[in-house]
Structure 1
């Protein structure tokens, strides 16, 4: 007996397919690595909109590098799995692109263009990637890049070129896929001859004359700035600059010089043949816009240590030599390396620090200071040799910060890292240099602290006592000052001298005894908060400008009596003292003399006598 059923008679069923784009992207990256094709992360798309900051306004949606990860674009292409995992961890929705050193891709932007290439040449079997609208044919062998060699066909080739890779999401919603997974064939000679001989040179304004020494920088500056103003992105500029350098300049510039000119063009600056910048144009080649504040995105400050150190900002620590600045910063690095709570701070996970220091011996001094303060040595890093923070080394440092993701960068002292062209007494020169560090802080969400020495000249305001231009202070979001204790005990005060946020209390730290003969380093300990200001404490005329001894004794008697029954609000202590003719600074000094403790309950500060 035959049993017949129509489809309508069959029960409805559903099949669930789990699609994990992150796992697929990870596997694709490994696949490209096996092909020796280095990759870079590029912005992904969602609903046809680029995930970069320009969103729907982006003209290269899903196709341009994620510069917070690869600040030099295709120059940072990598075959290293650790780089790939780090990129994917930070931007799980990213696309990828493959750099093409020793490879050539015929990039067809439509099926018709792909078929035209097939009809024109008898191509060997090779790797083919299906793109959002067309196909990429991948060959071994390097030639020159060509844009529009025929309708909807581009040639991409060389270390400065890249194409979006498989597993990426096109703005039209289609994913790039492997169309023919075949071994990569050599670039056919006929195709290479066609690429090299047919058509016009790759840049509209190029001509046969060579540019000799004396005019090379200006020529390359003009060409790149013109192309930048026409919308070329950083990677396109690198590609064009490399072509012009070898085709037009006699002799060619070094890669370092070309890179500096490209970066200047991206920033809108014109670089002279001597390496200095002249003039200043639009940032990123675009004119600024005026925004009403309803268009400004609300941002939240991420504190490393509230309210003294904020991530993504530049700060200063000033003080006299030998009074404890480097000791204090080693204590700070050790504390955050273990995730210990800073005074009046919040609980944070263990974090990394870059501690750049040329003045102290790494193994005999700095390492022992970290050990004395119970730091995790695997989370604190130091440079292997001296360097100056010029453009090249700033880029190197930025790359290392992207790799290790430190929460804190210490530069101790800043004078050791200045380039020779920086005039420390010139506001413009100082600000230009410090803007590099401010940019490092913002791009890497890292707190940067620069150490400076106090100068010999005293000012009425302690925040101006540091060596050099006032723009060291002006560009910094927070400025701390440090001075040794004046009561005969080992230790120091840390003052919050300048802030763009909220001023914190001064802090008193102890420093333990240490046997220098045995190589020991002291342990730093937080004792208490203090009301003493840097201006009061660092004054040359403390006795004349501060309270006299009788007033201080009166303040001590008042505090002992007022706090005898138990803790009182700090605000009430000050108000009651003021009612008796005692200034805040007099009360603060008396409080320190009596070792009165400060503590916070919720948002309210209290004072209490020390335990007997």
Structure 2
């Protein structure tokens, strides 16, 4: 009996304590502040056809050219530029590389020599596949995208079981931290239209629990060309403001900027587009008789409860001209 007890004791791990006063504070590096951190996992989710893959490919295109992701904010301020171009590993299980992905990358202006794909035709790639780590080492990729999540879980994995999802998310999180690359997992939403945004992702809540940032992409009701990215979880920085982009057949993709809508409103349909429509009507009304000083417009908008970013979104949508007269800016509607 004593011999068996000694064997059990030997098998037990030794106690190791970490003193917090000896832990060094590490600064987070950002691929896209505050939405996508390096060294961590980010989830981007939304209903099919809402533009998740499109916006990720647009981001990839900018990164491979060393360009700012958002060239201009809704207030007209440019982002910092001069970022080093990076290599990207992009894995998709839904779209063809030659007929869908590459045409989209080319349209977005990507340097396709920096976009790499692991050939998994002979053996499907999974989140615990050794080839994923080998590819990161070989390419020095700073961004890895798996689109969609459920296609890379592996055969026999039930995405609704926490005990099966946790080790997968742990493995992918370790890879991100070990090589200081950003890992983006793209996922679809479930059909629970009345649920909280954090519970609308497919599968176990452990997907969202392990990610440090979770984003939702949705379409604005009554204005289907406008899509919005909303932050629903941010563990490393304050949640970012919602950002909108326009996606239409004629003009393609372009960023609009900050947008006044919450994730819950975007998903539920409550208030979708209502704030921007009210701001548009306000501008049409106040500028009907000619130009007006920008400061006075902003003051009147604030009195009516219209937020600054909503006002600027409406200005962009209406293509209102800005003219400087003396030392003041004036807005005016374009002549039809």
Scaled to the shorter chain, the TM-score interval is: 0.7 to 0.9
CA offset at residue 506 of structure 1?
A: 1.3
- Flag the 1:416–1:540 CA change in 2: closer, same or farther, 3 A: same
> Which residue does the alignment assign to 1:417?
152
- Cα distance in 2 for residues equivalent to 1:402 and 1:443: 10
Name structure 1 gaps, 5 residues minimum.
Answer: 1-221, 230-280, 515-521, 598-606
- Cα distance in 2 for residues equivalent to 1:588 and 1:383: 41
- Flag the 1:609–1:527 CA change in 2: closer, same or farther, 3 A: farther
Q: TM-score, normalised by structure 2?
A: 0.78
Q: What aligned pairs does 1:79-118 form with structure 2 within 5 A after superposition?
A: none
1:511 aligns with 2:247: yes
> Which residue does the alignment assign to 1:441?
176
- Flag the 1:611–1:406 CA change in 2: closer, same or farther, 3 A: farther
- Cα distance in 1 for residues equivalent to 2:277 and 2:103: 42
Match 1:389 to one of 126, 140, 164: 126
- Cα distance in 1 for residues equivalent to 2:150 and 2:69: 28
> Which residue does the alignment assign to 1:529?
258
2:279–2:306 contact (8 Å) kept in structure 1: no
- Cα distance in 1 for residues equivalent to 2:92 and 2:211: 20
- Cα distance in 2 for residues equivalent to 1:608 and 1:492: 29
1:290 aligns with 2:18: yes
- Flag the 1:491–1:288 CA change in 2: closer, same or farther, 3 A: farther
- Cα distance in 2 for residues equivalent to 1:610 and 1:327: 34
Q: What aligned pairs does 1:364-379 form with structure 2 within 5 A after superposition?
A: 364-379=99-114
Deviations 1:317-364 (A, max 9, x none): 011112211111111111100001111654311101100101100011
Computed over aligned residues only, the root mean square deviation of the Cα atoms, in angstroms, reads: 3.7
Q: TM-score, normalised by structure 1?
A: 0.45
Q: What aligned pairs does 1:359-508 form with structure 2 within 5 A after superposition?
A: 359-386=94-121, 387-389=124-126, 391=128, 393=129, 395-488=130-223, 490-500=225-235, 501-508=237-244
> Which residue does the alignment assign to 1:326?
53
- Cα distance in 2 for residues equivalent to 1:480 and 1:429: 23
Deviations 1:74-101 (A, max 9, x none): xxxxxxxxxxxxxxxxxxxxxxxxxxxx
Structure 1 runs, 4 residues or longer, greater than 4 Å off: 545-561, 587-591, 607-612
CA offset at residue 462 of structure 1?
A: 2.2
1:556–1:591 contact (8 Å) kept in structure 2: no
Q: What aligned pairs does 1:12-27 form with structure 2 within 5 A after superposition?
A: none
> Which residue does the alignment assign to 2:322?
none
> Which residue does the alignment assign to 1:565?
293
- Flag the 1:322–1:430 CA change in 2: closer, same or farther, 3 A: same
- Cα distance in 2 for residues equivalent to 1:389 and 1:307: 28
Q: Secondary structure at the match of 1:456?
A: coil
1:479–1:499 contact (8 Å) kept in structure 2: yes
Q: What aligned pairs does 1:71-220 form with structure 2 within 5 A after superposition?
A: none
CA offset at residue 463 of structure 1?
A: 3.0
**Matched length:** 306
- Cα distance in 1 for residues equivalent to 2:243 and 2:160: 30
CA offset at residue 550 of structure 1?
A: 7.6
> Which residue does the alignment assign to 2:84?
349
Q: Secondary structure at the match of 2:264?
A: helix
- Cα distance in 1 for residues equivalent to 2:246 and 2:223: 11
2:127–2:171 contact (8 Å) kept in structure 1: no
| Higher Cα Rg, which structure | 1
1:582 aligns with 2:305: yes
Larger RCO (CA under 8 A, 6+ residues apart): 2
CA offset at residue 483 of structure 1?
A: 1.3
Deviations 1:454-498 (A, max 9, x none): 111124532321111211111111111111243445342111221
- Cα distance in 2 for residues equivalent to 1:524 and 1:455: 26
- Cα distance in 2 for residues equivalent to 1:510 and 1:548: 14
Deviations 1:119-140 (A, max 9, x none): xxxxxxxxxxxxxxxxxxxxxx
CA offset at residue 556 of structure 1?
A: 7.5
- Cα distance in 1 for residues equivalent to 2:223 and 2:304: 30
CA offset at residue 565 of structure 1?
A: 1.9
> Which residue does the alignment assign to 2:44?
317
CA offset at residue 418 of structure 1?
A: 0.6
- Cα distance in 2 for residues equivalent to 1:495 and 1:541: 15
- Flag the 1:550–1:567 CA change in 2: closer, same or farther, 3 A: closer
- Cα distance in 1 for residues equivalent to 2:118 and 2:148: 14
- Cα distance in 2 for residues equivalent to 1:549 and 1:566: 19
Q: Secondary structure at the match of 2:294?
A: coil
Q: Secondary structure at the match of 1:315?
A: strand
Q: Secondary structure at the match of 2:166?
A: helix
Q: Secondary structure at the match of 2:168?
A: helix
